[in-house]
Amino acid sequence: MVLINFAGKEREIKFDFNAICAMEEIAGKPLQEIMSKGNTGFNTIRMMLWAGLRHENKMMTMDRVGEMIQGLLESGKKLEDVMIKVMEALEKSGIINAFEEKEGTDEGE
């Protein structure tokens, strides 16, 4: 479980299969490309956090997530703090491990 605090309210960031599908649908590209170096702009960070929070509220909008991130920034947190939580949640989901294992097997082919 990975928790992030927005204005005094703890929220769980969780990535399941549907969250990853939602990210890929919004981004118009597979997870491998979303996660590639140099592809972590503001929109990507907001989209990833949105996907990780949707399990709590399917009506969550990206604009609302942007407001939540802005609140964190105004309270002295850094965008890097958000990304660390997102990456931790992705790792805990097992999705990152599966992605890395697949990439490792493709290199020798």
31 vs 99, which has greater pLDDT?
31
Between residues 19 and 34, the one the model is more confident about: 19
| Sole residue written with tokens 């118009």 | 28
CA 8 vs CA 11, 39, 100: distances in Å: 10, 30, 35
The pLDDT score that the predictor gives to residue 1 is 84
Q: Is the pLDDT of residue 47 over 90?
A: yes
pTM, to two decimals: 0.83
- Mean pLDDT of the 19-26 span: 93
Average pLDDT for 66-73: 95
Query: 106 pLDDT exceeds 70?
Result: no
| List of long-range contacts for 42-45, beta carbons under 8 Å, 24+ apart | 42/79, 45/69, 45/79, 45/82, 45/83, 45/86
Dihedrals phi, psi of 92, to nearest 5 degrees: -65, -25
Q: Kindly tell me if the per-residue pLDDT of 52 is higher than 50.
A: yes
Q: What is the mean pLDDT of residues 9-36?
A: 91
The domain ranges of the chain are 2-106
Higher pLDDT among residues 102 and 96, named by residue: 96
Q: Provide DSSP, 72-89.
A: HHHTT--HHHHHHHHHHH
